[in-house]
Amino acid sequence: MNANRQQRREHLQQFLRSIQKPGRSLESIGDDDGLVTSGLIDSLALVQIVLYLEENYGIDFAARGFDPDRLASIASILDLIEESR
């Protein structure tokens, strides 16, 4: 994993900790595990992730469209960020 991806991963993890469900641990899931299916976040938190990506990385979901599968895991979110850069 390159340094930029690692920095984005750490920033994303920090954000996810702020929206995760109480009693769940981000450290208990892997980068490819589903964020909603693991119970870390609920489906409404996807809206918060969209706002985070728009504000921090300039991703325009109005132009791009919204695909929840692209926000399913830490790895898929990082891939989306890299594709948009």
Q: Which one is predicted more confidently, 25 or 52?
A: 52
The CATH number that applies at residue 68 is: 1.10.1200.10
Q: What is the overall mean pLDDT for the chain?
A: 93
- Burial call 54-79: b when 16+ CB within 10 Å, e when fewer: eeebebeeeeeeeeeebbbbbebbbe
Number of domains in the chain: 1
Share of the chain above pLDDT 70, in %: 99
Q: Which one is predicted more confidently, 14 or 65?
A: 14
Question: Can you give the residue range of the structural domain that contains 23?
Answer: 3-84
Write out pLDDT tens, residues 19-47: 999 988 899 999 999 999 999 999 899 99
Helices (H) and strands (E) in the chain, counts: 4, 0
Under the banding of pLDDT at 50, 70 and 90, the label for residue 66 is confident
